[in-house]
């Protein structure tokens, strides 16, 4: 395998999985490591979350991200195939280049030179295999083994002792001892940790003994294994492992023992990960948040063994700048203000200087005491980058000229009809459409979608219509020419229809078979949308022209998933302007003043503008949308949301409700604008 790879589902932090792949990549000298990311995260997994996940997996070796996913089509069940799609279906897709450029820069650096790692940990996987068996006999032993190993990995990772894992199968024929180092493929180690394991191979034991006799260090953490090659041994602590150092399973004792191996120390209130790499003339240090951080920002102190000049490489913009540093007794120290969504890439250039440097912060604006607040209006105009939308997913129905049935949610209608006709249900195991040879449609279905409007207005329908479908609006035929579409090409839009004040009805008659898709339809136009008192039925209203600073879903736009552009004129008198968005809900935000744009990917959700002339300026705040309120599981009221797929749209009993489950969207509080 040229590029080893793994898969991270949802927003799980699978450090051990990454460490296994990273270790084998390093030891075999592979050019990089791949990881499929972002799967089953849902439509509302924002771009800062994309960055966070990509950053920490990069620290743990991933140099080739495989984003999940870009659909070929949203037709039928495909739109529920573990969203979100990163292509045109998501309104932020044209901004994804910012992230791709960031990771291109990071990954280029993390494939240069050689990783600096002195510690190896024996992988206990063979002990886990030995404990496979009935849960009532071996389950607690497996759980204990897993718990201890996860703890060990966490201690080393978050106390900044980088390490690799040793596979006993690999080192049997690919390891040697050279000059007090254990060499495994392209890597060499000074210290090997034997964690709490049940069994060890005799070949591994002999290799480690040779390593110790050559001046290497082997640390037995906790009890010695009681089996060799799967066979019990007598008195293992005294006879077989007496040449190894031994300590109890204690974090502080372990860190004291390993301190001579330390290359990096990161002090700050957070969970940070790092990767250090060496080239002939310099070294590279990449630091990222290992867990999501909700703080506004914190100053971290990074101590680096050795004397270095430091340069910061801004991976979002490509800019390079010198970073203040201090060198004392052969240790280089930097201080840096790291915000929740930041990562930090440093180039370390060796220097003979010592006791050098004074600290500064990485702020390039004046102190907070000098900032003056710029007043803004309580309501402002908002432009929509696509029409507002009503999701019509409740319909009365009949089949084969039978009796009209009461209104029901469209996917539940589909399930009912499939049960009636003996067809398979559409779900994750449903046959892909290109594999279907016969698509007969022996039945005839009629649907009635009704809604109430407080106004008369013009609108359009978006429908996944096929040949043979008859669509009418208030009794009049609806023309769908197939040239125009909404969100995806499968959702064809109609010519304009006239919405009446009062009750309106869309009727659809269609041929139906095992591979027919019954789906929501969508009403598009310049109008507002509210719910009746039960929050079950949407009502068309006058469009909202001026918006306040809270979720637009509560301002007559519950289903809208496109981008929002907040527009206002701001008066300034001083040259430096800072705009901060304390709370917003959306895929990402972007702030523009007089056409100068700043996407918010860092620095506490704020944008800074220099050399702004005094006067009135046009400020635009773009909140990029997602499709959670348009194509999400709108009736799923379950508290479990980590894995979103087709079953999420078909929940039952207490996990289902007819009331629409709408997520917040937009500027949740007013922007903070200051000048100095």
pLDDT tens, position by position, 127-182: 999 999 999 999 999 999 999 999 999 999 999 999 999 999 999 999 999 999 99
Q: If DSSP codes are grouped into helix, strand and coil, which group holds residue 147?
A: helix
More confident residue, 466 or 453: 453
User: Rounded to two decimals, what is the model's pTM?
Assistant: 0.94
- What would the mean pLDDT of 413-437 be, rounded to a whole number? 85
Asked if residue 355 has pLDDT above 70, the reply is no
> What mean pLDDT comes out for the span 218-224?
93
Q: Is the pLDDT of residue 362 over 50?
A: no
Structure confidence at residue 365 (pLDDT)? 47
Residue, of 121 and 361, whose pLDDT is higher: 121
Q: What are phi and psi of 74, to 5 degrees?
A: -100, 10
pLDDT at 414 over 70: yes
Least confident of 281-285, 369-373, 466-470, 519-523: 369-373
Q: What is the pLDDT of residue 439?
A: 78
Q: Which of 468, 464, 451 lies closest to 521, judged by CA?
A: 464
Query: pLDDT averaged over the chain?
Result: 93
**Backbone phi, psi, residue 142, to 5°:** -65, -45
CA gap 257, 331 in Å, rounded: 20
Peptide bond preceding 146 in cis form (omega within 30 of 0): no
Tell me which residue of 42, 24, 41 sits closest to 33, measured CA to CA.
24
Which of 51-60, 296-305, 368-377 is most confident? Answer: 51-60
State residue 620's pLDDT score. 96
Which residue in this structure is represented by tokens 């006879």?
239
- Region of poorest pLDDT, from 81-90, 104-113, 430-439, 603-612: 430-439
- Cβ-based neighbour number of residue 481 at 10 Å: 9
Question: CA torsion, points 637, 624, 453, 520, in degrees to nearest 10?
Answer: -50
Query: Is residue 366 pLDDT above 50, yes or no?
Result: no
Mean pLDDT of all residues in 639-643:
75
Q: State both tokens at 20.
A: 């296994």
DSSP3 helix / strand / coil % (the chain, rounded to 5): 20, 35, 45
- Read out DSSP for 603-634? TTTEEEE-SPPSEEEEEEEEEE--SHHHHS-T
Q: How far apart are CA 156 and CA 167, in angstroms?
A: 18
Q: 293 falls in which pLDDT band (50, 70, 90)?
A: confident
For residues 314 and 321, the answer to whether their CB atoms sit within 8 Å is yes
What does each C-alpha distance from 30 to 5, 89, 109, 163, 399 come to in angstroms?
11, 35, 15, 17, 60
């Amino acid at each position: 395998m040229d590029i080893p790879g793994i898969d991270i589902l949802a927003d799980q932090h699978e450090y051990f999985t990454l460490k296994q792949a990273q270790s084998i990549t390093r030891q075999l000298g592979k050019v990089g490591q791949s990881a499929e990311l972002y799967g089953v995260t849902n439509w509302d997994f924002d771009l800062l979350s994309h960055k966070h996940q990509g950053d920490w997996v990069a620290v743990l070796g991933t140099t080739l991200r495989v984003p999940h996913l870009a659909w070929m089509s949203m037709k039928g069940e495909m739109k529920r195939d573990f969203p979100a799609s990163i292509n045109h279906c998501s309104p932020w897709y044209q901004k994804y280049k910012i992230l791709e450029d960031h990771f291109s820069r990071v990954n280029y650096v993390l494939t240069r030179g050689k990783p600096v790692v002195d510690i190896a940990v024996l992988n206990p996987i063979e002990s886990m295999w030995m404990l496979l068996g009935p849960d009532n006999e071996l389950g607690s032993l497996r759980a204990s083994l897993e718990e201890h190993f996860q703890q060990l990995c966490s201690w080393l990772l978050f106390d900044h002792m980088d390490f690799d894992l040793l596979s006993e199968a690999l080192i049997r024929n690919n390891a040697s001892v050279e000059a007090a180092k254990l060499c495994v493929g392209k890597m060499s180690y000074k210290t090997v940790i034997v964690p709490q394991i049940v069994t060890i191979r005799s070949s591994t034991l002999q290799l480690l003994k040779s390593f110790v006799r050559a001046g290497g260090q082997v640390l037995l953490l906790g009890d010695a294994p009681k089996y060799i090659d799967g066979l019990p041994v007598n008195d293992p602590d005294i006879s077989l492992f007496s040449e190894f150092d031994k300590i109890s399973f204690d974090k502080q004792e372990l860190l004291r023992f390993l301190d001579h191996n330390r290359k990096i120390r990161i002090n700050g209130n957070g969970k940070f990960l790092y990767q250090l790499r060496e080239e002939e003339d310099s070294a590279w240090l990449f630091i990222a948040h290992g867990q999501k951080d909700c703080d506004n920002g914190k100053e971290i102190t990074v101590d680096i063994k050795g004397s270095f000049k430091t340069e910061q490489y801004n991976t979002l913009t490509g800019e390079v700048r010198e970073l203040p540093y201090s060198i004392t007794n052969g240790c280089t120290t930097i201080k840096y203000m790291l915000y929740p969504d930041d990562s930090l890439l440093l180039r370390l250039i060796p220097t003979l200087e010592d006791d050098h440097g004074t600290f500064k912060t990485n702020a390039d604006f004046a102190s907070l005491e000098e900032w003056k607040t710029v007043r803004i209006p309580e309501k402002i105009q908002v432009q929509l980058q696509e029409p507002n939308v009503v999701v019509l997913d409740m319909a009365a129905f009949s089949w084969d000229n039978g009796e009209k049935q009461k209104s029901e949610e469209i996917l539940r209608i589909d399930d009912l009809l499939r049960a009636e006709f003996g067809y398979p249900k559409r779900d994750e195991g449903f046959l892909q459409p290109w594999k279907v040879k016969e698509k007969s449609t022996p039945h005839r279905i009629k649907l009635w979608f009704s809604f109430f409007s407080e106004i008369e207005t013009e609108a359009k329908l978006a429908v996944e219509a096929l040949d043979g479908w008859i669509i009418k609006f208030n009794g009049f035929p609806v023309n769908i020419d197939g040239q125009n579409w909404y969100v995806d090409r499968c959702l064809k839009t109609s010519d304009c229809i006239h919405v009446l004040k009062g009750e309106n009805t869309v009727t659809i008659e269609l041929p139906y078979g095992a591979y027919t898709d019954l789906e929501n339809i969508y009403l598009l136009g310049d109008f507002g949308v509210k719910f009746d008192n039960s929050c079950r039925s949407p009502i068309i209203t006058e469009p909202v022209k001026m918006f306040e600073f809270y979720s637009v879903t509560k301002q007559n736009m519950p289903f809208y998933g496109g981008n929002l552009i907040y527009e206002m004129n701001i008066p300034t008198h001083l040259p430096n302007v800072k705009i901060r968005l304390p709370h917003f809900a959306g895929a990402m935000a972007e702030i523009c003043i007089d056409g100068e744009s700043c996407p918010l990917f860092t620095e506490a959700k704020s944008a800074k503008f220099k050399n702004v002339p005094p006067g009135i300026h046009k400020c635009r705040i773009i909140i990029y949308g997602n499709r959670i309120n348009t194509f999400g599981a709108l009736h799923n009221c379950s508290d479990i949301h980590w894995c979103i797929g087709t079953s999420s749209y078909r929940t039952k009993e207490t996990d289902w409700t007819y009331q629409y489950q709408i997520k917040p969207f937009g500027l949740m509080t007013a922007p903070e604008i200051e000048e100095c």
